[in-house]
Amino acid sequence: MAVFTLQDILFSQGFGTRRVCAGLIQQGLVSVGGAVQSDTLAEFDTEGLQFTVQGVPWPYQERAYLMLHKPAGYECSQKPGMYPSIYSLLPGPLRTRGGGAAAGVQAVGRLDQDTTGLLLLSDDGKFIHRMSSPRHHVPKVYDVTTKHDIDATQVSRLLAGVVLDDSPVPVKAAAAEQAGTHRLLLTLTEGKYHQVKRMLAAVGNRVEGLHRSQIGSIQLTFELPERHWRWLTVDEVKALQASPSK
């Protein structure tokens, strides 16, 4: 059993600073069990807790599981160099969630600053490891725009495996589907440094644009605009955790 004040509960869920959370409660915008709450220091057991904020139902999330539509020009780093951090797109409470040296949500793997698309984030270390470890073979789908025409020979080579300069073992695409003269849908189950760009270079082509559209069973649609994020549903998290491993 974990008991926290209502203000701290809202803060942990990313509804804003503690002052903003207190304001939501004091304005009568938060209900628990159908009863409007006005006391910021009222305590509740978080196990199975359901509440509403501004009329929207919300189940208490002990762990954070998020998806973000990453735009170009952002780094997947807490300490970015030339570009802003993707963490600046998240509310402060999610960046400091939990406290301690490893506070806040962390990206599940990374996307280059010029790559757009689906990024998962969590404060659950086991989930992060399962989603990012190559031994679990979680498929990730990339929509690749190339400089030169894609041909059947290049697709065949990507499926058969190409040798990259940091490993003598050929790296294979799990799937490769030509979607246009300069467009390829590429599915990978591991995440080497600049892997897509290096694989295309190995078959004599060049990546001009790169967008990750899917991780496991989770697809990114444009209902979630660039720069925006949302919590994963319970069913989505379960589906990801149940992704087959080899």
Structure tokens at 187: 């599915």
> CB-based burial of residue 105 (10 Å sphere; 0-12 exposed, 13-18 middle, 19+ buried)?
buried
Structure tokens at 36: 């409007």
Helical residues (DSSP H) of 96-221, grouped into ranges = 125-132, 152-160, 195-202
| Separation between Cα atoms, residue 45 and residue 32, nearest integer Å | 11
* Residue 90 neighbours by CB distance under 10 Å: 19
DSSP class of residue 134 equals: G
Q: For residue 82, what are the β-bridge partners?
A: none
Structure tokens at 21: 């959370």
- At residue 226, φ and ψ (nearest 5 deg) are -55, 145
* Residue 218 neighbours by CB distance under 10 Å: 18
* Residue 175 neighbours by CB distance under 10 Å: 15
Task: Kindly name the residue from 112, 123, 149, 151 that is annotated as catalytic.
Answer: 112
> CB-based burial of residue 55 (10 Å sphere; 0-12 exposed, 13-18 middle, 19+ buried)?
exposed
Contact in structure between 229 and 67 (CB atoms under 8 Å): yes
- Cα 89 to Cα 11, 92, 94, 95, 189: the distances in Å are 17, 9, 10, 10, 27
Q: Is 112 a catalytic residue?
A: yes
Which residues carry out catalysis? 112
